[in-house]
Amino acid sequence: MSKGTLDALKAARESKVSKPIKAAKPAKTTKPKIKKEMKSTPSKRAAFFIFDLPATNVIRWMGKDGFDFRETVGALKTLGINKIPTDGTIKAQLYHGKAGTRGEPAKLTSEQQKQLRDAAKKVEAEEKKEEKAA
């Protein structure tokens, strides 16, 4: 390259306005999330209630106690509870009750537990009658 070309390149490089380099932002520090203890008391957010407790907590108890999906839905209908969560919610809460995740199951009285178990037994008995009839 000729001397004139080199001088032209130097002049062009120097004439450019150099922008200041921005320093990297420090990483955001987040506070550790503290798990809140789940309560088995009536919630203002819950949409469905069984025995004046959130339905999801009761269904988690049913999962922990070994109820399956058909027994759960049948027991709730047998008890006259018309407004129940969706099938997906029931299945998920039964799973979490068996696995011991997603909060504490409802703290039911022995009478409430007996009502749910009796209702599930009625459902099983009706299913057996239908199988024999078919």
Q: What tens digit of pLDDT does each residue of 6-18 get?
A: 777 777 666 655 5
Q: For residue range 86-105, list pLDDT tens digits in order.
A: 999 999 999 999 999 888 89
Regions of the chain where pLDDT drops below 70: 1, 12-24, 26-45
Which two tokens mark 89?
Answer: 């919610």
Question: How many percent of the chain have pLDDT more than 90?
Answer: 35
Q: Cα angle at 78 between 76 and 84, to 5 degrees?
A: 30
Query: Rounded distance, CA 55 to CA 59, Å?
Result: 6
| Residue 131 CB neighbours (<10 A) | 8
pLDDT of residue 126: 87
Give the containing element (helix H, strand E) for 46.
Answer: none
Chain position carrying tokens 């001088």: 7
Helix, strand or coil, per DSSP, at residue 105:
coil
pLDDT of residue 44: 62
Helix, strand or coil, per DSSP, at residue 82:
coil
DSSP code, position 100: T
Surface-to-core class of residue 113, CB atoms within 10 Å of its CB (0-12 exposed, 13-18 middle, 19+ buried): middle
